[in-house]
Amino acid sequence: MRRSTCSSRSRRPHELHRPMGAPGRPGRRRAARANRPGDRHRRLRALRHAAAHGDRAPDLRGLRGRAQAGVGMSARRTFVLVHDQARNNAARAIVEAPPGFMVVISEPAKKRIQEEKYHAMIGDIARQVEHIGRKWDADDMKRLLIDEFADEMRAAGTPLHHDARVVPSFDGRRIVQLGVQSREFYVKEAAAFIEFLYAFGAARDVRWSEPFGHKN
C-alpha cells in the first residue's frame, strides 16, 4: 500500500500561503463566529432598528421565534409614557412579544422618597401622640392613620384605588377590616397621604424630625 504525500501540487491555491497543519480557511471561522449568541443578538437589534426607522417591514414570525427562544426579550419591561418615543417603544414591544405575554397599564406607583417621608412622619406621630390614653408603636399607628386617611378620601369623593373593605368573620361573631396597604399607593395617593399627615400632626402639635417637603 502506497503512503500518500502532500505537496504544493495537491494543495488548493488559497492554502499555499500557510504552512502545513495551520487552521482552515478564514471563511469557515467567520461562519462559525456568525452563529454565536452575541451575533444573533446584534442581528436582532439591527432588524428592530430597521423596522423602527421604516427601512423595511419587520419579520414578526422571526422575532416571535427568537423571543420564544429567549433571545432579545427580557421577562419584564416597563415603559413610562412621558413622550411619543416611549409610546412607540411600548407599542413595538407589544407587537414583538410572543403569545401568552401580558400587558398591564397603570398609574405610576409611589416613589421611594415618598415612602421614606411618610414613614418618618408616622414615627414622629407615634412618639408624640396618644390614642385612647396610650402610645402605640409605629406599625400600629400606621394602620390607625391609614384607616383615618382612607375614610377622609372616601368622604371627599376620591376613594383610594384599593380601598378598605369591612366583612364579617367566618363565624359571624366579629367584623374584619381588609386593610389598605401603603405599598400599593399611587404617586398622587402617597402625596395626599403626606398632606394628611401634616394636617393631622399640626392639629396635635407634632414636631417633625424632617423639614417640610418631598411630597411628590
CATH 1.10.3790.10, the chain: domain bounds: 112-202
Residue 149 above 80 pLDDT? yes
Predicted local distance difference test score (pLDDT) of residue 57 = 45
**Does the pLDDT of residue 189 top 50, yes or no?**
yes
Question: Between residues 84 and 10, which one has the greater pLDDT?
Answer: 84
Phi, psi dihedral angles at 6 (to 5 degrees): -110, 130
Q: Looking at this protein, which amino acid is placed at residue 50?
A: A
**How far, in Å, CA of 191 to CA of 93, rounded?**
31
Distance set, CA 190 to CA 8, 96, 115, 178 (Å): 82, 35, 8, 19
Position 111 scores a pLDDT of 84
Q: In which band, very low, low, confident or very high, does the pLDDT at 46 lie, cut at 50, 70 and 90?
A: low
**C-alpha triplet 41, 45, 50: angle, nearest 5°:** 150
Listed ranges 78-92, 168-182, 191-205; the one with the highest mean pLDDT: 191-205
Specify the pLDDT at position 119. Answer: 94
What rounded mean pLDDT belongs to the chain?
75
The residue to which cell 393631622 is assigned: 200
Average pLDDT over residues 166-178: 84
Residue 21 binned pLDDT confidence (cut-offs 50, 70, 90): low
Mean pLDDT, rounded, for 187-204: 95
Task: Reduce the DSSP state of residue 186 to 3 states and report it.
Answer: strand
pLDDT at residue 58, rounded to an integer: 46
Closest CA to 113 of 189, 180, 181, 191: 191
Q: What is the pLDDT of residue 136?
A: 96
How far apart (Å, rounded) are the C-alpha atoms in residues 126 and 128?
6
Angle between helices 37-52 and 84-96 (to 10 degrees): 120
Question: Which three cell numbers, joined as nine digits, stand for 41?
Answer: 443578538
Euclidean distance between the first and the last CA atom of the chain, given in angstroms as a whole number: 90
Return the residue matching grid coordinates 392639629.
203
Topology of domain 112-202 in CATH is NinB fold (1.10.3790)
From CA 114, how far away is CA 109, in angstroms rounded? 10
Q: Report the share of the chain in percent with pLDDT over 90.
A: 29
